[in-house]
């Protein structure tokens, strides 16, 4: 039976519980990270912890463990579950409190580490590519909830995901408040045009993805020109290639958007090259 770490203790999955008065449940008050395990090693743990603590600081949430303690807890939980390939969900909630928004009435933040499997898309999607739509639901306005906070508030992403599924697609592109391309429901997006790799800049209201940053790093190592810039739906429709990136999705090609084929309707050569480089890099992680 799988083990779940909660505030310093390991519990069997069936016994891993938090209070129904936890503000993470009642109000989505908390932050999280999704992290990959490759060949028994945790991928880019430091980067994920940096983002977790930044998100927590932004919402005035004090994590009751040091980074070193959380890092060790993640490693211990992976070992306890004997996972060689898998996914880690690291969650910090505001903790149990009263019925009411006031976070000062919450007694103790809850730190939860889950180690399990994840598969966002069918395996053949990585060879054939994904169909997507543009969602009518926009990404959170940065003055309402900064998208760089990886919070438990995912309702607008979920609504966009539902819209995609109802349209018969596994994924949707979300626009920002200016009508520019931001990201997909849980992933960053990249385009290729005339050999140039293009992706929305952080000011477009996106999460700074760990996998996104790795792909940018791999592209620069391969001398592929990179632009972080404003993008529109026209740029998606007229792109030669398109793909999305994320911890769970890794590097997944997109071959159609809003019924329009992208490029020749098949995963492109630069997409395949970057996916191969990505797979090689994560297997080299120590």
For residue range 35-55, list pLDDT tens digits in order. 999 999 999 999 999 999 999
Bridge partners of 171, per DSSP, are 132
**Is 141 a residue whose pLDDT tops 60?**
yes
Q: Look at residue 286 in the predicted model and tell me its pLDDT.
A: 45
Cα–Cα distances (Å) from 29 to 70, 95, 101, 110, 136, in that order, read 20, 9, 9, 11, 25
The per-residue pLDDT of the chain, averaged, comes to: 96
- Domain residue spans in the chain? 3-116, 125-284
Q: What token pair was written down for 132?
A: 């997507």
Question: Does the pLDDT value for residue 67 go beyond 90?
Answer: yes
Q: CA 156, CA 139: separation in Å to the nearest integer? A: 7
Instruction: Determine the average pLDDT of the residues in 167-181.
Output: 97
pLDDT band per the 50, 70, 90 thresholds, residue 123 = confident
Q: How would you list the strands of the sheet with 86-93, edge to edge?
A: 9-12, 3-6, 110-116, 86-93, 30-38, 41-42
Q: Which CATH number fits domain 3-116: 3.10.20.600, 3.40.50.460, 3.30.470.10, 3.20.10.10?
A: 3.30.470.10
Per DSSP bridges, beta strands 171-175 and 130-134 are: parallel
State mean pLDDT over 200-218.
96
Q: Of the listed 150, 161, 193, 266, which one is catalytic? A: 150
CB 270 within 8 A of CB 251: no
Average pLDDT over residues 197-210: 95
Q: State yes or no: is 150 an active-site residue.
A: yes
Give the pLDDT score at 283.
84
Output the DSSP codes for 54-113: HHHHHTT---SS-HHHHHHHHHHHHHHTT-SSEEEEEEEE--B--SSS-GGG----EEEE
> Helices (H) and strands (E) in the chain — how many of each?
8, 15
Two tokens, residue 243: 């793909």
Q: How many CA atoms, within 13 angstroms, populate the side-chain half-sphere of residue 192?
A: 24
Tell me how far apart the alpha carbons of residues 130 and 121 are, in angstroms, rounded to a whole number: 9
The DSSP bridge partners found for residue 245 are: 188, 251
Phi, psi of 82 (to 5 degrees): 50, 45
pLDDT of amino acid 285: 52
Superfamily of domain 125-284: D-amino Acid Aminotransferase, subunit A, domain 2 (3.20.10.10)
pTM (global) more than 0.85: yes
């Amino acid at each position: 039976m799988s083990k779940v770490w909660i505030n310093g203790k390991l519990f069997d999955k069936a016994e891993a519980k938090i209070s129904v008065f936890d503000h993470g449940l009642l109000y989505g008050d908390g932050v999280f990270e999704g992290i990959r395990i490759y060949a028994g090693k945790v991928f880019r743990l430091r980067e994920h912890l940096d983002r977790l603590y930044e998100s927590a600081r932004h919402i005035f949430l004090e994590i009751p463990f040091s980074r070193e303690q959380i890092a060790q807890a993640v490693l211990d939980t992976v070992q306890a579950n004997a996972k060689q390939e898998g996914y880690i969900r690291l969650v910090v909630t505001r903790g149990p409190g009263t019925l009411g928004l006031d976070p000062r009435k919450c007694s103790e933040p809850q730190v939860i580490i889950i180690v399990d499997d994840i598969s966002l898309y069918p395996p053949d999607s990585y060879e054939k590519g994904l169909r997507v739509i543009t969602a009518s639901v926009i990404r959170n306005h940065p003055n309402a909830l900064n998208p760089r906070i990886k919070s438990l508030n995912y309702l607008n992403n979920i609504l966009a995901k539902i819209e995609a599924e109802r349209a018969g697609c596994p994924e949707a592109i979300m626009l920002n408040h200016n009508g520019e391309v931001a990201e997909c429901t849980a992933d960053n997006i990249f385009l290729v045009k005339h050999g140039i790799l293009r992706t929305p800049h952080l000011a477009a209201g996106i999460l700074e993805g760990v996998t996104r940053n790795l792909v940018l790093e791999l592209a620069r190592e391969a001398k592929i020109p990179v632009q972080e810039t404003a993008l529109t739906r026209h740029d998606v429709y007229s792109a030669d290639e398109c793909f999305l990136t994320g911890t769970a999705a890794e590097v997944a090609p997109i071959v159609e958007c809003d019924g329009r084929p992208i490029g020749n309707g098949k995963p492109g050569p630069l997409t395949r090259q970057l996916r191969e480089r990505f797979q090689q890099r994560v297997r080299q992680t120590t």
